[in-house]
Amino acid sequence: MKNIKFKYRTAVLLIGLVFIATVSCERDLSDEVEFATNSSAGEIFTDSPIGLGTNFYFPFLGSKATAWTVDDSEGYESQSSMRFDVPNANDPDGSYAGAIFRTDGAGRDLTGYDALTFWAKASQGVVIGQLGFGQDFLENKYQAQIENVSFSTNWVKYVIPIPDASKLFEERGMFWYSAGTQDTGGLGYTFWIDDLKFEKLGTIGQPIPKIYGGADVETQTFVETGGLVDAPTVTFNLSSGQNISVNASRSYFDWTSSDSNVLIIDETGTFESLNIGRSVITASSAGVQAEGSLIVDVLGEFNFAPTPTRDSNNVISIFSDVYDNVPVDFFNGFWEPFQTTGSDDFEIKGDNILNYTNFNFVGTQFQNPTIDATGKPNLHINMFIPGDIPSNLDFLISIVSFDDGGTESGRQQAFFKASDFVSNTWSTLEIPISLADKSKIGLLIYENVNGSSLTNFYLDNIYFYSE
């Protein structure tokens, strides 16, 4: 293949000569000229890594970096395969196995394929958390994966359909995986993968893309706020008759706002509200209309929480843009299978807001380290309920402390009724802490109790303080 190199100079004389030559003698490019294109090779591993370059294995943070090797004594109809040794959960070198395989260079043209396929088996029956492609530690623009995949002790072929191959003309993320020991009680195990490659099977059935699980979901927001739609899925029917759902990046989808004067949305699924009104967000993937929608009511200008004025020396902040916040483990602790609460947090004009949706209960944990509130024995929270206040509102806040071993040692509860709130107005909740030991507080829990039907609210300026 011929390479064409254009060299630019800044000298005025040379620019003039180029101009004269162009005017006096125009020439078309020769028909023999060929432009470079990306490799369309589908093979990733067949007895050895193929075309990945010299530096292609990048472990995830906290994973065991040495989990992957090439096994020259085990393979599917061969002598070699990729071996993955998932460590014990208490392994000091990493509590799980996980990494990406990223090819060097500009990436591969995968537009001619419809699936990533491989053969795999394990040392025992296990469930692998995530397997996919499109993650490159750069944009991760076209990430896709299947989850909770069952491996047996026999070689089995697995298929991960590509949501929309027409977009993959420059893909570097060839493969990625994440495997832990949740299914084995913390004990490690081994699995093998062979003949890993992109294929054109031609037997994958019509895709069924979905956003919001195929439901029509309604939400409220405000002018000049932004948001991100939920991650979509695409379900395919394989030749075996199996239906398989792929969790797909939002960039595989084409997003549409029914009223662009009210709301606009870009290719990444990020939307911005512009004016008061209603807009319906829909999407399609590979030309197929997705089931489900997001119905957005834009209410108007956002009403910010009162700006805290307490001296920062008298405050230990959990969540506020006014103070420096302590480390928080999570703002939405998901206690399966009973919790339904989701998070739709947003930022407007530099102010970050916690937004809890489909609420039943939720926890904010800060145990690494815990907080010593002995000298700051009050809790301040600003809370906003959009729309009508439920008449049966019974809202419980629990403040939980722990001992040195991490076991709960105390719990204080504070109840709030409908009369404590005003619709579409920030309320200020002040709770004096009565715990006997305030030196190791590590958890706040918010709950609907006694049949309360609160579904959506915002929080801001959560902090402990002294007068």
Backbone angles phi, psi at 15, to 5 degrees: -60, -40
CB 256 within 8 A of CB 282: yes
Residue ranges, comma separated, of all CATH 2.60.120.430 domains in the chain are 43-199, 312-465
- The CATH code for residues 312-465 is 2.60.120.430
Q: Render pLDDT for 310-330 as a digit per residue (tens, 0 to 9).
A: 999 999 999 999 999 999 999
Backbone angles phi, psi at 146, to 5 degrees: -110, 155
Cα–Cα distance for residue pair 383/393, rounded to 1 Å: 14
∠ CA(207), CA(213), CA(216), 5° rounding? 115
Residue where the block lists tokens 């915002």: 458
Split at pLDDT 50, 70, 90, the class of 337 is low
Q: Return the HEC string of the chain.
A: CCCCCCCCCCCHHHHHHHHHHHHHCCCCCCCCCCCCCCECCCEEECCCECCCCCCCEEECCCECCCCEEEECCCCCCCCCEEEEEECCCCCCCCCEEEEEEECCCCCECCCCCCEEEEEEEECCCEEEEEEEECCCCCCCCCCEEEEEEEECCCCEEEEEECCCHHHCCCECEEEEEEECCCCCCCCCEEEEEEEEEEECCCCCCCCEEECHHHCEEEEEECCCCEEECCCCEEEEECCCCCEEEEEECHHHEEEEECCCCCEEECCCCEEEECCCEEEEEEEEECCEECECEEEEEECCCCCCCCCCCCCHHHEEEEECCCCCECCCCECCCCCCCCCCCEECCEEECCEEEEEEECCCEEEEECCCCCECCCCCCEEEEEEECCCCCCCCCEEEEEEEEECCCCCEEEEEEEEEEHHHCCCCCEEEEEEECCCCCCCCEEEEEEEECCCCCCCCEEEEEEEEECC
Judged by average pLDDT, the poorest of 173-177, 312-316, 345-349, 454-458 is 345-349
Q: 367 pLDDT exceeds 60? A: yes
Q: Residue 347 carries which side chain, given as an amino acid letter?
A: E
Confidence at residue 419, expressed as pLDDT on a 0 to 100 scale: 96
Confidence at residue 34, expressed as pLDDT on a 0 to 100 scale: 45
Q: Kindly state the tokens that stand for 400.
A: 């939980």
**Which of 97, 156, 161 shows the shortest CA–CA distance to 134?**
161
Average pLDDT value for residue range 242-259: 97
CA distances from 172 to 169, 209, 409 (A): 10, 24, 50
Across the chain, which distance is largest between two alpha carbons, in Å? 93
Count of Cβ atoms closer than 10 Å to residue 335 Cβ: 11
CA distances from 52 to 66, 173, 249, 432 (A): 18, 10, 23, 60
Spell out the CATH class of 208-298.
Answer: mainly beta
Confidence at residue 336, expressed as pLDDT on a 0 to 100 scale: 62
Cα–Cα distance for residue pair 447/90, rounded to 1 Å: 33
CB 57 within 8 A of CB 63: no
Split at pLDDT 50, 70, 90, the class of 467 is confident
Q: Render pLDDT for 95-143 as a digit per residue (tens, 0 to 9).
A: 999 999 999 988 999 999 999 999 999 999 999 999 999 999 999 999 9
Higher pLDDT, 205 or 399: 399
Residues forming beta bridges with residue 203, ordered by sequence position: none
Residue ranges, comma separated, of all CATH 2.60.40.1080 domains in the chain are 208-298
Fold of 43-199: Jelly Rolls (2.60.120)
Count of Cβ atoms closer than 10 Å to residue 339 Cβ: 16
Residues forming beta bridges with residue 402, ordered by sequence position: 408
% of residues, the chain, pLDDT over 70: 92
Mean pLDDT of the chain, nearest integer: 90
Confidence at residue 9, expressed as pLDDT on a 0 to 100 scale: 33
Split at pLDDT 50, 70, 90, the class of 374 is very high
Residue where the block lists tokens 């843009």: 321
Cα–Cα distance for residue pair 28/264, rounded to 1 Å: 43
Cα–Cα distance for residue pair 289/437, rounded to 1 Å: 57
Average pLDDT value for residue range 207-215: 96
Q: Residue 129 carries which side chain, given as an amino acid letter?
A: G
Cα–Cα distance for residue pair 199/42, rounded to 1 Å: 7
The pTM (predicted TM-score) of the whole model is: 0.74
% of residues, the chain, pLDDT over 90: 79
Q: Residue 441 carries which side chain, given as an amino acid letter?
A: I
Q: Residue 249 carries which side chain, given as an amino acid letter?
A: S
Q: Render pLDDT for 384-413 as a digit per residue (tens, 0 to 9).
A: 998 889 999 999 999 999 998 889 999 999
